[in-house]
Amino acid sequence: MSGPTDDKAHIRHELDLSGATWIRAEPAGVTLEHCAEYAFVPHTDGVTYVAIRQPTDPDGVVLVFTPSEWDAFTRGVRDGEFDLPES
């Protein structure tokens, strides 16, 4: 069995992140040391992708999500899917 594939490899290098408006993913009024930044990045294929990066390494790895992947992720966050278990 092979490892995971990068299903956005054909898109990632075509996205222009130079003009992206990065938004810190942290609660309003709270500054977190470790958080992520995301940006909505339009592509010539007509799809607006969501890019995510670490603000401490803006030239590092950028993850790219389709609108449906982003919607599924944000629904999971709202539904508590990623909350830490209570001890």
Rounded Cα–Cα distance for residues 36 and 33 (Å): 10
What pTM value is reported for the model? 0.76
Note whether 48 and 42 are within 8 A (CB). yes
Note whether 25 and 74 are within 8 A (CB). no
pLDDT in 10s for each residue of the chain, 87 residues = 455 666 777 777 788 888 899 998 877 777 777 788 999 999 888 999 999 999 889 888 889 999 999 999 999 989 999 888 887
